[in-house]
Amino acid sequence: MLCLLTALGSYGDVYPVIKLGAALAERGHRVKLLANPYFAEPIERAGLELVPVSTPEAYERLTHDRRLWHPLLGLRVIFRWAATEAMPDIYQALERLHEPGETVIGAHPLDFASRVAAEALGANVTSIVYAPMTVWSDDSPPRLPGGLAGLGWPRWWNRMMLTVGELLVERRSITGRINAFRAQKGLGRIGRVYPDWAFGTGHTLCLYPEWFGPTPIDLPGEFDTSGFPLGGEPDAPLDAGLEAFLQAGDAPIVFTPGTANRAGRAFFAAALDACRRLGARGVLLTKYPEQLPDPLPDYAHWASLAPLGPLLSRSAAFVHHGGIGSSAQGLAAGAPQLIQPMAFDQLDNAHRLIELGVAEELLPRAFTGAAVAAALSRLLGSTDTARQCEDLAARCDSKAALDEACESLERRVGIPTTPAKPVTKHLAATFAKLA
């Protein structure tokens, strides 16, 4: 089987695809990752072939756009990039690489080209979903800014909010571009992109467990749910400086606003103030050290990147932006989490973590040193939180999740596998798991 996997986004988005690709390669399949060359090093280190999409310079430009972290404008920015720069590159690669009858394409939610290829080339496409927010359900919609949709609202209201989102985001950023591209391939126009067209491939693979995001009951097609693949390099050693810091005192609190975030100065100022107030030590993760004071106080340590698995397993708590990769790593490590959500799926992920009893949330305007310290005190002092963290960590099995994800893709080309797990589509049953 030839597996063409598209990996778009930041490290938290790309690492799970690398893990899935490596697992497929171990099972004897040919795997190619379509991704930005900015991520060439971890892709090649995993022994996978990189097919370039866009350029490192384009990725850097995207991360410099301050609108990226706005709840509404951020979606427009990333959608336009996906429809203007990523879509043509991905489609050209698919035309060149696609082998009819032998190929499965694992399409990222922002990969519009693969959805076009499903029609124009007859390609076998699976929509791969990394966070529940991507799969809109009128019965269990994601949390939106301002709480404008959710389980407390009637279906008609939730459907109306989806239409509002279509008008404010999709039609202003991607619908016209996608239709123009489709016309070049001899295809007709589409209406709503999400979820109607984007998940119209007939098969969706959700890389998170049902207890984190129940399968929607009101969407057509086949849904497989695996679990968190826990991207990153779990066996990678920590660098010498970070290792020395960890050994020099109590378990620290880990802080990161996201690997692509260049606007984290206020986040880190609040982090350092919170550590001072708590008498705690902190590890500050950012690829952009100009956001940090120089020198750092002796109770803090900076690292550009670090494998979150081994780091969080030796940490007291995890403070982050609510990206799905960070959220999953925090769950797997059994770490209490404090979330500062800004855009994309972060608000919805934060809500789910809070409902699971392992997290609190502070929106950016409320993210001060005093507020962070108070929230961390509550989290670290709660036996209920500690118990929930431990219970959910025991349910995170990356190896089993990867096996199930691989088998889901193998079934698409008729490779015999173990029977798929039955996926409940009854809301009462699925939400009971969250209780």
Asked if residue 7 lies in contact with residue 18, where contact means CB atoms within 8 angstroms, the answer is yes
| 421 and 332 belong to one structural domain | no
- CATH no. for residue 185? 3.40.50.2000
Say yes or no: 317 and 362 in one domain: yes
Q: What is the mean pLDDT of residues 150-172?
A: 67
Give domain status of residue 294, yes or no.
Answer: yes
**Residue 343 near residue 69, CB atoms below 8 Å:** yes
* Inside any domain, residue 280: yes
Residues 379 and 260 grouped into a single domain: yes
Residue 39 in domain: yes
- Claim to verify: residue 160 and residue 198 sit in the same structural domain: yes
Among residues 128, 259, 207, the alpha carbon closest in space to that of 398 is found at 207
In a domain, 235, yes or no: no
**The pLDDT of residue 433:** 37
Asked whether the beta carbons of 98 and 123 are under 8 A apart, the reply is yes
Considering the domain architecture, whether residues 295 and 311 belong to the same structural domain is answered as yes
190 and 263 within one domain = no
- CA dist 256 and 371 (Å) reads 17
DSSP 108-126: -TT-HHHHHHHHHT---EE
Name every residue whose Cβ is closer than 8 Å to that of residue 88 and which is 6 or more positions away in sequence. Answer: 113, 181
Same domain, 386 and 426: no
pLDDT tens sequence across 205-251: 999 999 998 887 777 678 899 999 986 554 577 899 999 999 999 99
- Give yes or no: residues 213 and 259 share one domain: no
**Phi, psi (5° rounding) for residue 198?**
-60, -30
Q: Which residue has the higher pLDDT, 416 or 139?
A: 139
Residue 107 — very low, low, confident or very high, per pLDDT cuts 50/70/90?
Answer: very high
Q: Number of folded domains in the chain?
A: 2
- 77 and 169 belong to one structural domain: yes
Highest mean pLDDT among 171-185, 198-212, 327-341: 327-341
pTM of the model: 0.86
Question: How confident is the prediction for the chain on average, in pLDDT?
Answer: 87
Which value, to the nearest 10 degrees, does the dihedral of the CA atoms of residues 423, 425, 427, 431 take?
10
Of these ranges, 24-33, 141-150, 158-167, 408-417, the one predicted with the greatest mean pLDDT is: 24-33
Q: Do 217 and 310 lie in a common domain? A: no
Query: Is 285 within the bounds of a domain?
Result: yes
Say how far apart CA 161 and CA 138 lie, in whole Å. 9
Query: Per-residue pLDDT averaged across 285-311, rounded?
Result: 93
Residue recorded with tokens 């001060």:
368
Check: CB of residue 162 under 8 Å from CB of residue 136: yes
Q: Are residues 299 and 382 in the same domain?
A: yes
Q: 270 and 208, same structural domain?
A: no
Residue 262 belongs to some domain of the structure: yes
Task: Give pLDDT, residue 147.
Answer: 59
Q: Give per-residue pLDDT as tens, 56-101.
A: 999 888 888 888 777 777 778 878 888 888 999 999 999 999 999 8
209 in a structural domain: yes
Q: Which domain holds residue 210?
A: 2-230+397-432
